[in-house]
Amino acid sequence: MQAVLLLGPGQLSCQDLPIPTPGADEIVLKVTAALTCGTDLKAFLRGHPKWPMPTRFGHEYAGTVAVRGSQVTIVREGDEVMLVPTGPCGGCFYCHRQQENLCTSLMETYALGGYAEYLTVPARVIRTNLFAKPAALPWAEAALLEPLSCVMFGLEQTVLRPDDTAVVIGAGAIGLLHLLALRALGVERVYVVVRNPQRATVAQALGASGIIARSAEEAREEVLAVTAGRGADLVIECTAQPRVWEAALFLARPGGQVVLFGGCPSGTTVAFDTYRLHYDQVRILSPFHFTPKAVRCAYDLLVSGKILSNKLISGTYPLAQLPCAFALLQQGEGIKYAIIP
């Protein structure tokens, strides 16, 4: 089978590998669609602390069950499924406290390798985070389950009201998924802070109440203008830059919430204004990854057809042309590309 390997920063290699055989409690998935993700682009450009190279990669995918292990009973060969690449162990300290996103062995069983014709899905993913794909849901949109799970996990930590004004900083795939999810959850006013005109157009098409075409640091005046001078009830940072984390705090109203969603490079630090945190009682949340509960919410939302998830897929490429998709993303072109092995 064909699989793309990341050999080192900037080095992709399409290789011919043997089709994997599943263990008794595993399945081998035939990938039907995989999606590019900002994390993959970052790994391609400068490596990833959790993915030592050479590595297979691609973590947003959906497909059909090609072979199932002898002990697997919940799916059959030929079943069309959608899934996320990790599952909790169920037995550690964090799993017992429903903080499965922090499960101590989460990363060890990360099912990377969506950029390939086949990959092995571990037992714990099959047990908790794998679902039947409805026939009506296109494959590329089914592969949005992973990023949408992260988004739903973050939103689960917040208190939302229909009359809230939310501000999303950034209109990459994650910012736009937040916009879609907030609208689907009934939040009527969602503004998007974005300077890239192409992405602003997509945000508008996806139902943004308005575009604030400024940097996060310069957006405060316009946010105050649309919130009767108070600041936003909810601010969601989706750029993964420390300076934007700091700026996000100044867009929230007293008593408001700030979700710092984008993971910054490790070792970076931020400084927060103590007045805003204490006297203005701005609440900061910094969600990481997802729990099975969030995956279920994301699944329900995707299959409900309530979100225009097709607008996030900017094009389709065969496996061998993955570098073209990365080149476009690097130029700020498009949101996500579907890779069809």
Residue numbers at the binding site for Zn ion (CB under 5 A): 37, 39, 88-89, 92, 95, 103, 147
Distance in angstroms (rounded) separating the CA atoms of residues 151 and 85: 15
CB of 37 to Zn ion, least distance (A): 3
Distance in angstroms (rounded) separating the CA atoms of residues 328 and 341: 19
CB of 103 to Zn ion, least distance (A): 3
CB of 78 to Zn ion, least distance (A): 27
| DSSP track, 144-193 | THHHHHHHHHHHHTS---TT-EEEEE--SHHHHHHHHHHHHTT--EEEEE
**Strands 313-318, 232-237: parallel, antiparallel or unpaired by DSSP?**
unpaired
Query: Half-sphere exposure of 318 toward its Cβ, with a 13 Å CA cutoff?
Result: 3
CB 232 within 8 Å of CB 250: no
Question: Of 171 and 252, which has the nearer Cβ to Zn ion?
Answer: 171
Question: Of 143 and 219, which has the nearer Cβ to Zn ion?
Answer: 143
CB of 147 to Zn ion, least distance (A): 5
- Euclidean distance between the first and the last CA atom of the chain, given in angstroms as a whole number: 10
Question: Of 89 and 226, which has the nearer Cβ to Zn ion?
Answer: 89
Question: Of 37 and 238, which has the nearer Cβ to Zn ion?
Answer: 37
CB of 274 to Zn ion, least distance (A): 34
Question: Of 89 and 328, which has the nearer Cβ to Zn ion?
Answer: 89
* 298 token code pair: 């994301």
Query: Half-sphere exposure of 20 toward its Cβ, with a 13 Å CA cutoff?
Result: 22
